[in-house]
Structure 1
Amino acid sequence: MLTTDGTYTVIDSHTAGHPTRVILSGVPRLAGDTVLAMRDNFRDRHDHLRARLLHEPAGHAAMVGLVPVPSDRADYGAFFISSYVYLDMCGHATIGYAKTLAATGAIAAPLESFTLETPAGVVTVGLRWAPDGSLDRAIIRNVPCYVGYERVDVALPDGRKVRADLAFGGIWYAIVDAAPLGLTLDDTNASAAMALGATIKRALGDALAGLDPAKGGASVPSVLFYQETGPHRARHLLVLAENKFDRSPCGTGTSARMALLAHRGEIDDATTYIADNLLGVSFRARIAARVVEHGQPAIIPEIEGQAFITAFSTIVKEAGDPLTAGFLCR
């Protein structure tokens, strides 16, 4: 007989290689009138569940979780948890959630879209169905995205200089061209990219000190490396930590780069921008609208991608397991 001190029903998927774990049971009722408030309540009172469900041995450093919650503002509500931090918005996980809703029968053809309240705001998720009735792809109409600071110069410990642009895509990012650094973005170079990206993140702490938090100076952003591969096309690698990178092209990171390109007049409303990951899987992005956010020009991007179900599972925490709380080795 098995004695447990917790079981959790989850559905796992991947979006262009990066995982999403939708947590369907085991989370207590959360206080709050908004998704942001419920997320903060989870963080303040139930953060131990994040490690239990995302860290090893049940998960790994790159695992991202999605917690569905009620919403008075949208069709659905959800917030995002990761192995290290809480995310206000997550593009790949939103696409993964659409696939999960379709896989469970919560949504079905011919539904064209649904709205989702996230901590960053309400987004619209367009749906494209395959002839067999399965969900082929999802299209996220994101929150307003805009540029914070351009051409922030960062000095690395080895004497090299790095130039970064800060842009918001639902989360703040430092956008860095890989070419001047001699960094090739491919699946054999992920470790080198993570090491360099983590060094840039540490150096950004000094560069951003005293900058306006509303323009990206509130915390040190993750580093989105890009490598141009053709007109309106680039390979992306998002470095989150020394041992963690986004396997997908990054939906919010792609949104941030779209905002930067639009700000510089390098793309127009008729342009489709293609962001590839290291494995050659793509997101397609377009400008859906131009708006004003915080008194400055912004865009509403649409990010299109596919997700695939990988597991329907019950995570079991057996009583007496010394590692039931989860662990991460860095």
Structure 2
Amino acid sequence: MRWKRTIQLIDVHCEGEIGKIAVGGVPKIPGATIAEQLHWLNTDPKGEALRRFLVLEPRGAPIGSVNLLLPAKHPDADAGMVILQPDQAHASSGSNSICMTTALLESGIVEMKEPETVVVLDTAAGLVRAVATCHDGRCEKVTLTMVPSFVDTLDLPIATEEWGTISVDICFGGIFYALVDAASIGVKIEKANARKLVEAGMVLKDLINRTVPVTHPEIEAISGVAYVMFRDIDPDGAVRTCTTMWPGRVDRSPCGTGNSANLAALYARGKVKVGDVFKSRSIIGSEFEVGLSAVTTIAGRSAIVPTIAGRGFTFGLHQVALDPFDPLGDGFALTDVWGPSAGTIL
């Protein structure tokens, strides 16, 4: 074959959200830490080319992420990871960490031990500890201890043309979120409203990032609001979520980093305490168990340590390749399926 590049991937989804794992052919990513590698992927033309190769058409699709399996930089970690999406490389993700853990164990890259296997993931946001419940060669459930999460701003008033002034919480859960009550835009979190929610999320994300700069106090490579997550409460008390993702889709899972950010807001308002566990439900009805395991500090500010539990399922293996003569090798996206914001992808 005349291929210029080939990468092998394991297909996985976590509670409906696809998180493919690039396990073979991943090039060497410069950087002494995963955070430095994240920065390189987001600033160097070669990093951008790798991301476009994996996530845009004709090899990629609007749904899901591609996770780079990298050598761990931290001595306590089993593997490193960076999450690739159409806008940029991201520091952390709960659903993708569950996908990564499931793929590592069910492929044999990390030895599976029953009844539990502990896998420590090195991410740009810090170490994520995954405890996998294993039986008969299958990873049945993964419980993540996430990185410390904290509030940046509560009840921030944001003036909009569409909905008037709405209240937004800016919180960190591994990446920065703008948390918005769905009622404030008059839309319920349900399948039929996915397009309305994502279009609202894109408007709010752009507005917030133009007016509310945020940067992690200890990790300079993590800055800006990555996602807008709409939230509500179901009749049984479960938190209903819808994370909107650029350029125009919604997270199929309940969202691990988003629930971590929301948990920080709930703790700051005195609505949860250490030891509490509750259900979070996605727009398609899949569920995570969200828990508050500890209270800590980050750069002198109050923070909490969340846990996220959910299931990952492997569903395939595939290989993607780059033909050096392909005029569309750089990748592309169209607004018909990627959403209106895809028009800015050159």
Q: TM-score, normalised by structure 1?
A: 0.92
2:284 is matched with 279
1:21 alignment partner, SS class = strand
Which 10-residue stretch deviates more, 274-283 or 23-32? 23-32
Q: Any unmatched runs of 5+ in structure 1?
A: none
Report 1:219-230 matches (<5 A): 219-230=224-235
Counterparts of 1:1-330 in structure 2, within 5 Å, are 2-43=1-42, 44=44, 45-73=46-74, 74-105=77-108, 106-110=110-114, 111-130=116-135, 132-158=136-162, 160-208=164-212, 214=217, 218-230=223-235, 232-329=237-334, 330=342
Q: Look up the equivalent residue of 1:103 and give its one-letter code.
A: E
Q: Which moved more, 1:198-207 or 1:279-288?
A: 198-207
- Describe the superposition over 1:89-116 as per-residue Cα deviations: whole angstroms up to 9, x where unpaired: 1111110001101221123122431211
The CA distance in 1 between the partners of 2:274 and 2:66, in whole Å, is: 33
CA contact (8 A) 2:163 2:184 kept: no
Q: Deviations over 1:99-149 (max 9, x none)?
A: 10122112312243121110111111111113x231001111011101110
Distance 2:102 2:134 in 1: 11
Name the SS for the 2:184 alignment partner.
helix
Q: Deviations over 1:237-285 (max 9, x none)?
A: 0112351221111110010011111111111223212111111100101
Q: In the TM superposition, what is the alpha-carbon distance from 1:313 to its structure 2 partner?
A: 0.7
- Residues 167-224 of structure 1, C-alpha deviation per residue, up to 9 Å, x if partnerless? 1101110111112322111111100001111122222245415x77749995244211
Q: Secondary structure at the match of 2:271?
A: coil
- Partner secondary structure for residue 4 of structure 1: coil
* Pairwise CA RMSD: 2.2
1:21 is aligned with what amino acid?
A: K
Query: Aligned equivalents of 1:8 and 1:112: distance in 2?
Result: 27
Q: Which moved more, 1:88-97 or 1:2-11?
A: 2-11
Q: After TM superposition, where is structure 1 displaced by more than 4 Å over at least 4 residues in a row?
A: 211-218
Cα distance in 2 between the residues matched to 1:4 and 1:293: 46
> Which amino acid is 1:59 matched to?
G
Give the counterpart letter for 1:262 in structure 2.
Answer: Y
1:174 partner letter: A
Cα distance, 1:26 vs. partner? 2.4
CA shift in 2, pair 1:270/1:28, >3 Å:
closer
Counterpart amino acid of residue 48 in structure 1: A
Query: Could you list the per-position Cα deviations for residues 267-304 of structure 1 after superposition, in whole angstroms to 9, with x for gaps in the alignment?
Result: 12232121111111001011111111121221110100
How many pairs does the alignment contain? 327
For residues 226 and 323 of structure 2, what CA distance do their matches in structure 1 show?
37
Q: Distance in 2 between matches of 1:3 and 1:242?
A: 33
Q: Which amino acid in the other structure matches residue 88 of structure 1?
A: A
CA contact (8 A) 1:62 1:83 kept: no
Mark the CA change 1:41 to 1:58 in structure 2 (over 3 Å): closer, same or farther: same
Which amino acid in the other structure matches residue 321 of structure 2?
V
Task: Check 1:84–1:288 CA distance in 2 against 1; reply closer, same or farther (3 A cut).
Answer: same
Equivalent position SS for 1:254: helix
| Alignment TM-score, normalising by the size of structure 2 | 0.88
- For the 8 Å contact 2:215–2:224, the answer to whether it is kept is no
Choose 87-96 or 316-325, whichever is displaced more. 316-325
Runs of 5+ unmatched residues, structure 2: 335-341
Answer whether contact 2:56 2:333 (CA < 8 A) is retained: yes
- Find the aligned partners of 2:209 and 2:107 in 1 and give their Cα distance: 43
Q: For residues 232 and 145 of structure 1, what CA distance do their matches in structure 2 show? A: 22
SS of equivalent to 1:239: strand
Quote how far apart the aligned CAs of 1:328 are.
1.2
Amino acid at match of 1:249: P
CA pair 307-159 structure 1, distance change in 2 beyond 3 A: closer
The offset of 1:318, in angstroms, is 3.3
2:128 counterpart letter in structure 1: V
Percent sequence identity over aligned pairs:
26
Equivalent residues of 1:291, 1:300 under 8 A apart: yes
